[in-house]
Structure 1
Amino acid sequence: MVEEQEIPAKSSMEESDATASETVMGNSNMEGQAVEKSIEERVTEPSEIVAEDSTMEEQVVADPSETKAEDLTMEDQVAGPAWEPIFKSERGDFLFHFDMETITPNLEVSTNVIDVWSQILNVLELYKEDDRLPTRYFFKISGINLLYFIEKHTNEEKLQSFTKSVDECFREDEKHLKSLENFDILFFPVCRENHLYLICADFINGLFRVIDNSSNGTDFEERYKSIPEEIKKVLVAYLDQVKHPNTERIRNTKPIRMQMKWRTKNNHVDCGVFLMLHMESYHGLKNWDCGLFLESDKQKRQLDLLRSKYAAKILLSDLNLIKNKFLKLVQVFEEKSENERKKMIDYAIVHRKERESS
C-alpha cells in the first residue's frame, strides 16, 4: 500500500522551553498552560455538554450519608473496589474502577474507556460551534470488532452485524442523528493484538486513512493484515445497501497509512492515549498538527498530561449519571502534593491484581 506524505510536526529542537507544554487539543492556539491546568480548575468551568431536558445535577441527588471525599483512605480514593461503577450513562454504558485505572500513566488504556470516549465525542459533535468543521461520527470498538475477525465470520455475517450496530447507534443517539449520510468522516477505532489505532473514512477527500502512532513495520499488509480492507469492504456494502449518496468517493480508494512526525518507535504503552487524541483532533486537514512533540521525554510528559485531562473529561462529563460522586474526589486528589499523588497511583497499580479477584 502507498503511504501518505509525511505531515509536519513541531521539532523539539526548534521549540523553546516556554512552549514545551503546548496544548494538545487539536488545532487550538491556546498556550501550554491550558494543558497543564489542574483538574480542580477544569471542573469549575461550564460543562461542555448540554443536557436537553435537565442537568445531571437535577437527575442525580447526592446521598447525604455518602462518605466525604476528604475522609476516604488512600485505597478508597484511588484504588477503589475494582468493579465499582465509576461511569454510567443513560444508554447503559459502564466504566468500572478497574477500567478507569488504565488511564493512569504507564498502563494500556482499556477498550472500554475508548468506547465511552467515542460516545462523549459524538455528543460533543452535536454541540460544536464551528460549522466549518466537517461532521464526524465515532464508532465503538465493541460495535465493529466482528468486522475484522476475518477467519471466523462470512461477509454476510459481518454486514448484518454492522447494520445492527449502526441501527442501534442511531436509534439511541440524540438530536438529529438519523443515518451515516449526516457525516463527512467516520472513525473506526481498532484493537488488534493489544495495539490501538484508528481508521477513518473521509467522504470529503475520498480517502481511507490508517492513523497509527507507531511507525514500526514498513510493510502495510504485514502490519495491518487485511483489517483496513475488511472494514472498508463491509462499510461499502452497507452504504450500497442504504443507497448512501457518497459511496463512490471511497469505493475504489486504497487504505493509506499516515506518516505523522509525532509517531513513535519505542513507546509501546500509550497507543490508547494517542488514539483518544487522534479521535479528538483529526478533522481531515492535510496539514493536521495535533500539537505533540517528536518522540521524546517532552512528548511523554504531554501524553501523561493528556491522561489526566481525559480522565477528568470522562468522569465529569454530563453523560456520567454518577459524576457527583467523583467530583469531590477529583478535587481532593488534585489538592495532594505531586509526591502524594504519585504514591496513590503507584499503590493502585501494585494492587490491581488482588482487587480484580476480590
Structure 2
Amino acid sequence: MLVTKRNHEFNLACPYFPNSDLPHDGTFFNGVTTPVHGREITTESKDLEFHEAAIDDDAHNDVVCSTPFTQILDEEAFDILEKSALATTKELSGHQSSTLSNRRESDIKIDDVNTVPLTIIAPRRTKRFVQLTDKLRSPYYKRTVDPNKRLKSTEERVSGCIFAGLDNEWDLVFETKFGDRGHRGIFESMIPGSKIHGTIIDIWATILNHQERHRNKKSPSRMFFSCTLLSNYILDEAICIEKRYKMFVDRMNEYIEKYKQCTNFKDVYLVFFPVLEFEHYYLIVFDLKKSQCVIIDNMYSEESLEVKYGNVPSDLKILFYLYIDALNHPKSNSIMRTIPVSLCMEWMTSRNYIDCGVFLMRHMETYKGENVDKWDVGLETELEDSDDQQMQLDELRKKYVTKILTSDLNVIKPSLYKMLASYDKLSDTEKESFNTEEHLMKIESRISLFY
C-alpha cells in the first residue's frame, strides 16, 4: 500500500506524456504547448528511475519531462513562454503602476516591468529539503568565528602554509561536490594587505549555506547567494529589463537547484546578495519576515544612496520581487514597496579600502536581522591611534581561510595535510621571511593571474 502511494506521488511529480501523432505533443503551460525533451517513458522505466532515486539522491538522471522549473533554463522554451506571459501580465499593469506611484523612478521603468513574464518560473512540484534532526542542530553548535580569541595552532599552520606561496598557484586546494573549486593562488588573496578574490566570497556563501543546516530552530533561516550571481550583465542599466530578468532567473534557478537549499523562499527569513562593484564589496539583504531591504557596507559615507550605489539596490529589488512574485510568495508586494536603507554601524571605516572583503564575510556570517545596537559583530571601532580593528581583520583572514579549507565540504582536504607536512619542515627564519613587503608583492603577482 505504501509502495502504491509513493508510486502515485511520483507519477504526479513526473507525469507521463504518451507519444502522439498530433502536431503539438508536449506539456501545456501558460496557454503554450512546449515539446517534451528526453527519452521515451514507459511504466517500467518510471518505476526503475523512482527506485534508483530512492537509493541515491545525488544521482543525476536524464530529464524525462519538461516542467515550468526546467523550461526556464531552456532558451527556446523561454521565448515561447515569454510570448504567452506578455499577454497575461498586461492585467497587472494597473496594480503595479499604483504600487510604484510614490517611489523614486529607477532606470527600470514600470512599462518595462509589465512586459516581464511573471509566471514562468514557479515550479509545479518541488523536492522537499531534508533538514537535520534536532540533535544535530544544537544551540551550542558554534557557527561563527570569534575574532577576539587567539589564533589556534591549526589556524597558524594552515594560513602560514597558504600565504607562503611555495607551491604552484594553480594547484587546487578546495573543491566541493557542488562544483565549487578554489586554486591556491585565489586563497593567497586572503593574505593580510591584499584584496580578496571574488571566488572566495562565492565559496564562503557555500560554507554558510551548509552551516544553515545546523542552525537551531530559534535562529532565523538564511540563504546566501554568490557575488557572481549579480554579474555586470545583470547590473548593466543599458540592457533591457527582459534580458536582465532572464539572466537573473537563470542564475537563481541554477543556484537553487545546485545546492537544493529552497525553491519558494517561504521558509527563508533573510536572503543575502553580496555585490562586487568598482572593486568594492557590500551586501544587500532582503528581510522577508520584516519586509525590509538593507544595505550593509563597511565604508562610511555621507553621500546619498543614489550617488553611492546608483540604481543597483532598486534594480535588484525589482528583479527579486519579480522572481518571488512568480513563486506566489506572500511578502512579494511588501518587498516591492520597501525602500532600501543603509545600516550605520560603529565599526564602519573611512580609511580602509583593502579589507572590504573581510568585512563582507563577517557581515554575512553574523547578521541575523536584528537591530544594529543588538548586532554582535565582535569588531572594534576604527581609531587613528589604535590598530585593534586592523589586527582583528588580519586574524580573521587567517581564521576564515582555515575554516574554509578544513571544512567537511572540501573533498580534497587530505591534500592539505601533505602541504602542512612540507610547511612544518621549514625553519622559523624561513617562515618569518613570508611576512615581508617583498613577499606580499610576490603574492600579489601570483593573484593577478586569476583576474
Residues 189 and 444 of structure 2 are in contact (CA less than 8 Å); yes or no, is this contact kept in structure 1? no
Cα distance change of structure 1 residues 339 and 249 upon mapping to structure 2, 3 Å threshold: farther
Q: CA deviation at 1:205?
A: 1.7
Residues 299 and 350 of structure 2 are in contact (CA less than 8 Å); yes or no, is this contact kept in structure 1? yes
CA distance in 2, matches of 1:237, 1:357: 38
Q: CA deviation at 1:343?
A: 2.2
1:303 aligns with 2:393: yes
Cα distance change of structure 1 residues 191 and 338 upon mapping to structure 2, 3 Å threshold: farther
1:344 aligns with 2:434: yes
Per the normalisation by structure 2, the TM-score is 0.61
2:38 is aligned to none
1:274 aligns with 2:359: yes
1:32 is aligned to 148
Residues 147 and 392 of structure 2 are in contact (CA less than 8 Å); yes or no, is this contact kept in structure 1? no
Instruction: Provide the secondary structure at the position in 2 that maps to 1:209.
Output: strand
Residues 144 and 365 of structure 2 are in contact (CA less than 8 Å); yes or no, is this contact kept in structure 1? no
Cα distance change of structure 1 residues 195 and 334 upon mapping to structure 2, 3 Å threshold: farther
Structure 1 stretches lacking a partner, 5+ long: 2-24, 44-73
CA distance in 2, matches of 1:96, 1:349: 18
Cα distance change of structure 1 residues 97 and 152 upon mapping to structure 2, 3 Å threshold: farther
1:90 aligns with 2:210: no
1:9 is aligned to none
CA distance in 1, matches of 2:233, 2:340: 16
CA distance in 2, matches of 1:217, 1:261: 15
Residues 27 and 290 of structure 1 are in contact (CA less than 8 Å); yes or no, is this contact kept in structure 2? no
**Which moved further from structure 2: 327-336 or 90-99?**
327-336
> What do the CA deviations read for 1:178-215 (whole angstroms, capped 9, x no partner)?
33222100000000000001000001222100000000
1:137 aligns with 2:228: no
**Which moved further from structure 2: 160-169 or 334-343?**
334-343
> What do the CA deviations read for 1:65-118 (whole angstroms, capped 9, x no partner)?
xxxxxxxxx999534212221211112211111111110100000001000000
Residues 300 and 348 of structure 2 are in contact (CA less than 8 Å); yes or no, is this contact kept in structure 1? yes
Matched residue type, 1:349: L
**Which moved further from structure 2: 323-332 or 82-91?**
323-332
CA distance in 2, matches of 1:285, 1:219: 24
Alignment map for 1:105-144 (pairs within 5 Å):
105-128=192-215, 130-144=216-230
Instruction: Provide the secondary structure at the position in 2 that maps to 1:274.
Output: helix
Matched residue type, 2:154: I
1:288 is aligned to 375
1:256 is aligned to 341
Alignment map for 1:24-173 (pairs within 5 Å):
32-33=148-149, 35-39=150-154, 78-128=165-215, 130-146=216-232, 148-173=234-259
1:313 aligns with 2:398: no
Alignment map for 1:240-251 (pairs within 5 Å):
240-251=325-336
1:218 is aligned to 303
1:22 is aligned to none
**Which moved further from structure 2: 303-312 or 87-96?**
87-96
Instruction: Provide the secondary structure at the position in 2 that maps to 1:351.
Output: helix
Residues 147 and 231 of structure 1 are in contact (CA less than 8 Å); yes or no, is this contact kept in structure 2? no
Instruction: Provide the secondary structure at the position in 1 that maps to 2:231.
Output: helix
Cα distance change of structure 1 residues 42 and 233 upon mapping to structure 2, 3 Å threshold: farther
Identity fraction in percent? 31
> What do the CA deviations read for 1:234-281 (whole angstroms, capped 9, x no partner)?
000111122112213322111101000000000010000000000000
Q: CA deviation at 1:177?
A: 3.0
**Which moved further from structure 2: 131-140 or 247-256?**
247-256
Per the normalisation by structure 1, the TM-score is 0.75
Instruction: Provide the secondary structure at the position in 2 that maps to 1:132.
Output: coil
2:417 is aligned to 327
Cα distance change of structure 1 residues 338 and 238 upon mapping to structure 2, 3 Å threshold: farther
Cα distance change of structure 1 residues 202 and 333 upon mapping to structure 2, 3 Å threshold: farther
Residues 104 and 345 of structure 1 are in contact (CA less than 8 Å); yes or no, is this contact kept in structure 2? no
CA distance in 1, matches of 2:182, 2:351: 29
Cα distance change of structure 1 residues 244 and 191 upon mapping to structure 2, 3 Å threshold: same
2:52 is aligned to none
Cα distance change of structure 1 residues 341 and 172 upon mapping to structure 2, 3 Å threshold: same
Q: CA deviation at 1:172?
A: 2.0
Matched residue type, 2:419: L
CA RMSD of aligned residues (A): 3.0
CA distance in 2, matches of 1:220, 1:173: 33
Matched residue type, 2:401: A
Residues 135 and 185 of structure 1 are in contact (CA less than 8 Å); yes or no, is this contact kept in structure 2? yes
Of 253, 265, 275 in structure 2, the residue corresponding to residue 190 of structure 1 is 275
CA distance in 1, matches of 2:328, 2:267: 13
2:23 is aligned to none
Matched residue type, 2:321: V
CA distance in 1, matches of 2:232, 2:428: 42
Cα distance change of structure 1 residues 222 and 85 upon mapping to structure 2, 3 Å threshold: same
Matched residue type, 1:271: C
1:265 aligns with 2:355: no
CA distance in 1, matches of 2:424, 2:364: 27
Residues 107 and 269 of structure 1 are in contact (CA less than 8 Å); yes or no, is this contact kept in structure 2? yes
